[in-house]
Amino acid sequence: MFNDAPLSPNAGDHSFSPPADSILRRKDFLLGTATASYQIEGAIHEDGRLPSIWDTFSATPGKVLNGDTGEFACDHYHRWQADVELLSSLNVDGYRLSIAWPRVMDENGKPNRKGIDFYKTLLDGLKAKGLKTFVTLYHWDLPQYLEDRGGWLNRDTAYRFADYAELMSRELAGKVDAWMTLNEPWCSAFLGYASGHHAPGRTNIRYAPQAMHHLLLGHGLAVPILRKNDPGSQVGIVANVGRGTANTDSAADQRAAHLFEVQHNAWVLDPLLKKQIPQDLFELWPGAEPLVLEGDLETIGAPLDFLGLNYYFRTNVKSDGAHGFVEAPPAGVERTQMGWEVYPLGLQELLIGFHKTYPNLPPIYITENGMASDDQVVDGEVIDNQRLSFLNRHLAAVDTAAKAGVDIRGYFIWSLMDNFEWAFGYERRFGIVHVDYQTQKRTLKRSAQLVAKFLADRRAQS
C-alpha cells in the first residue's frame, strides 16, 4: 500500500497501564490474543489434511511475496503444547483460534479423526490453563475441492459449510466458549473474488456480491446448528470494518466516503442486522446484484449473541467524478509496516456509529486489532514501541466508545505471534511474540511482557 509517509516508532506512550477508570481494569473485560489456522499451523500434508485454496494460491508464482507459503508457518501443529504454555505465561483471559476445514473432514463429509483430535486436545489444553476459547470455523482456508466446484460462487458451498458446522459443534461441544462462523467475509468475497489479492484469486467484480451472499447464507444456516449442538456456548460472526473519511467537505467527496463505508461495512452488517442488502452498493457495482432466494435474508439475519469486529485503519477517499470513490491517502501521517495509517479515532467513531445505526446491535468483541512492524531481536529483546503506542491509543478509543454506551465485552490483540501474513508472506510481523522462522524460537516482545504484567497485576487486585 502507501509507504511514502514516515513511520513514527517513538510516538505515544510505551508503557501499558490503562487509566484507573478504563474498561480494561474491569475483571469481566476479556483481554486476549488471536491467530488463524493457516497462518500458524503448518503441517499441510499431515494426518489426512486436504489441500486448501491457500495452499493452491500461495504455491502459484507471483501471488505471495517472496513465494512464501503456509507449508511450515509457525509449526503450531507440532508445537501447540509449548504455545499453550506461552499463552498462559501472558496471563491473557482468552484465545481466539480457527479450525482448518480441510483438516477435519474429507470430500465426502466423513470426519478425519486425527484432525479433529488435534483440536480437541488443543482446546482441552487451553481450558486446563483457564483460558476462554473463541473458535472461528472459517478463517479463509476453504477446501480446494469445494473451490473446484465453484467455491463461494456455488450456493452448495453454504450447505457444505453447515455440514462442517454440524460436525465440529458435535465433536467440540463443551470445549468452546464462543463460536464464530466466519472471519471477515468482506475479505473472502472482495479480495478473493473481485480484486484477486487473496485466494482463490478471481478478478470479477460481479462475483463478489454473489460470493458474499453465499458466505452469509452459510453463516445463517450454521447459527441454529451451533446453538442446538453446543447450547452452552455463544454464537457470533466476525466482520472487518473500516472508517471512510472524505478528502473535502464537498457533497461529492462526502458521498464517496459514504459509499466506501457501504461497501466495507454495511455490505456485511445490513444483511446480518437489518435483513437487507444495502442498495447503495449497486451504485458502485451496477448490475452485480446477487441471486437471493426467498427466505435467505431471514436465515442470514438470525439473532447473534455477539458481533466480532476487526479494525486496522481508515481509508481517506474522494469522488471519482462519477458514481464511486478513489483513495486519497493523506501525507505525513503515521503508518505501519503494512503502509496502513494509524487512526484510532476511526475505531471509536465506528463503534459509536454502529450503536446508533443498529438498534439491535449485539454485544461487541474487538476480535482483531494490531499492527505490523519490522521487529528484530537485538541482544535477546524485541523493543516494539510503536506497537505499544498503537495498542494504548486503540484501547483508549474502545474505552471512550464503551463510556458512550456501546456494549463492548473484550479485545483480542492481533496477533499472538508473527505468522504467515497472507499475500505478504513472512515479511510483515503482527505478533506480540517474535518468531524466528528458521529455528521456530519464540521471543516475547516488549509489548507481550507489558501486557502480561498488567494482566498479572489486574488478577492480583481482583
Classify domain 23-461 at the CATH topology level. Answer: TIM Barrel (3.20.20)
447: its cell numbers: 509489548
Rounded Cα distance between 310 and 243, Å, is 12
Is 184 considered catalytic here?
yes
Rounded Cα distance between 117 and 45, Å, is 16
Burial of 8 (0-12, 13-18, 19+ CB in 10 A): middle
Buried b (16+ CB within 10 A) or exposed e, 183-193: bbbbbbbbbbb
Is 440 marked as binding a ligand? Answer: no
**Mean confidence (pLDDT) of the chain:** 96
Query: At 274, is the secondary structure helix, strand, or coil?
Result: helix
State the catalytic residue, choosing from 147, 334, 341, 368: 368
Judge whether residue 2 has pLDDT over 60: no
Judge whether residue 385 has pLDDT over 60: yes
Weakest mean pLDDT among 68-72, 161-165, 321-325: 321-325
Is 214 marked as binding a ligand? Answer: no
State the catalytic residue, choosing from 41, 184, 261, 334: 184
Please state, as a whole number, how many other Cβ atoms lie within 10 Å of the Cβ of residue 279.
10
Rounded Cα distance between 282 and 88, Å, is 47
* CA angle at 153 for the pair 161 and 34, rounded to the nearest 5°: 50
Q: What is the pLDDT of residues 75-92, one digit of tens each?
A: 999 999 999 999 999 999
Is 139 marked as binding a ligand? Answer: yes
Judge whether residue 8 has pLDDT over 70: no
Residue 141: predicted pLDDT: 98
Map grid coordinates 517474535 to a residue: 434
Is 264 marked as binding a ligand? Answer: no
Residue 86: predicted pLDDT: 98
Residue 6: predicted pLDDT: 40
- Closest alpha carbon to 95 in 453, 445, 412: 412
Burial of 451 (0-12, 13-18, 19+ CB in 10 A): buried
Rounded Cα distance between 405 and 311, Å, is 19
Is 414 marked as binding a ligand? Answer: yes
Is 355 marked as binding a ligand? Answer: no
Is 368 considered catalytic here?
yes
Give the pLDDT mean for 276-281: 97
Which of the four pLDDT bands, split at 50, 70 and 90, describes residue 17? Answer: confident
Q: Report pTM.
A: 0.97
Give the pLDDT mean for 265-286: 98
317: its cell numbers: 477517499
Query: At 289, is the secondary structure helix, strand, or coil?
Result: coil
Tell how far CA 352 is from the center of its chain. Answer: 20
Residue percentage of the chain with pLDDT more than 90: 96
Give the pLDDT mean for 60-86: 98
Residue 238 and residue 308 in contact, taking contact as beta carbons nearer than 8 Å: yes
Helices 113-128 and 156-171, interaxial angle, to 10°?
Answer: 50
Judge whether residue 47 has pLDDT over 80: yes
Residue 14: predicted pLDDT: 84
Helices (H), 105-179: 113-128, 144-147, 156-171
How far from 262 is each of 132, 265, 337, 352, CA to CA, in Å? Answer: 33, 6, 27, 16
Q: What is the pLDDT of residues 403-422, one digit of tens each?
A: 999 999 999 999 999 999 99
Q: What is the pLDDT of residues 315-344, one digit of tens each?
A: 999 999 998 999 999 999 999 999 999 999
Is 340 marked as binding a ligand? Answer: no
Give the pLDDT mean for 166-182: 98
Rounded Cα distance between 257 and 10, Å, is 31
Rounded Cα distance between 440 and 173, Å, is 32
Which of the four pLDDT bands, split at 50, 70 and 90, describes residue 11? Answer: low
